[in-house]
């Protein structure tokens, strides 16, 4: 462990990974309770469009990923709320469309290279100091918003109609939640990859829910699972030259399976 942390890129990767684990697990709790897990995959593909635009046009791919993910999140919630479309249908349409647009942009721009693959599957070598600053700033704001409105968000997740009749601004808070999730996903694709970030956001919460404890213990359990998966996954990635994102996801799936076995007994 000491040898691994002697490298600057591993220090940046661990810092970014732990921050992402905190953000993903906390936001993932609300997403899973809302039965809205597929939004993570949709927003990840939308963020990939931003990465493609950034690589082709010469802009910062991370910033473009944040912008496109936010636009997609607002569009999803707008279509769901104001046109009464089924959530899964909206997510399926945007997921397929976003991936198609990303592939077309990359193909036309000739940017289908290692840089894109690092955003698809994650790369510990690609996390820069600028990325750390961006993750810390946006991550802090996102986490603060989640904690500030945690009671209202939990109320909406429990029963949206009752929350609305009780005076809770449901539509506004729904837009807030999807915006925070979009930002977190866009920030995460450097470390975990756009194809795998949904797993880090959903699986720790699902594993924690198996223990059937209260809301706060579930959030803390999910948080511990996510952080443990990131630390173990990055360590294995370093020592065995494995893709960081895939290794982290395999670790969190292992924790989920262990949780199933433990709670079954």
Segment 42-52 mean pLDDT: 89
Picking from 88, 62, 100, the residue whose alpha carbon sits closest to that of residue 185 is: 62
- Give the residue, 226 or 54, on which the prediction is more confident: 226
133 burial type by CB count under 10 A (0-12 exposed, 13-18 middle, 19+ buried):
exposed
**pLDDT of 128:** 81
**pLDDT of 32:** 92
Segment 72-96 mean pLDDT: 80
Q: Domains of the chain, with CATH numbers? A: 4-264 (1.10.3470.10)
pLDDT in tens, 98-150: 888 887 887 776 655 556 777 777 776 678 888 888 888 888 999 999 999 99
Q: CA angle, corner 232, sides to 229 and 235, nearest 5?
A: 140
Mean pLDDT for the chain?
86
pLDDT in tens, 1-42: 677 778 888 888 888 889 999 999 999 999 998 888 888 888
pLDDT in tens, 241-259: 888 888 999 999 999 999 9
């Amino acid at each position: 462990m000491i040898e691994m942390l002697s490298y600057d890129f591993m220090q940046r990767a661990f810092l970014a990974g732990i921050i992402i684990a905190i953000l993903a697990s906390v936001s993932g709790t609300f997403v899973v309770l809302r039965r809205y897990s597929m939004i993570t995959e949709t927003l990840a593909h939308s963020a990939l469009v931003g990465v493609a635009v950034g690589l082709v046009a010469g802009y910062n791919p991370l910033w473009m990923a944040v912008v496109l993910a936010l636009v997609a999140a607002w569009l999803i919630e707008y279509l769901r709320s104001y046109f009464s479309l089924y959530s899964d249908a909206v997510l399926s349409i945007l997921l397929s469309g976003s991936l198609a647009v990303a592939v077309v942009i990359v193909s036309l721009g000739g940017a289908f290279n290692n840089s894109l693959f690092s955003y698809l599957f994650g790369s510990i070598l690609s996390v820069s100091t600028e990325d750390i600053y961006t993750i810390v700033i946006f991550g802090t704001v996102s986490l603060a918003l989640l904690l500030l409105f945690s009671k209202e968000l939990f109320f909406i997740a429990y029963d949206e109609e009752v929350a609305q009749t009780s005076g809770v601004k449901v539509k506004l808070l729904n837009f807030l939640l999807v915006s925070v999730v979009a930002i977190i996903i866009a920030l995460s694709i450097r470390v975990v990859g756009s194809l795998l970030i949904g797993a880090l956001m959903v699986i720790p919460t699902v594993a924690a829910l198996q223990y059937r404890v209260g809301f706060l213990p579930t959030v803390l359990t999910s948080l511990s699972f996510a952080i443990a998966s990131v630390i173990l996954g990055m360590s294995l990635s370093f020592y065995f030259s494995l893709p960081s994102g895939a290794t982290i996801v395999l670790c969190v799936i292992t924790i989920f399976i262990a949780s199933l076995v433990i709670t079954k007994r």
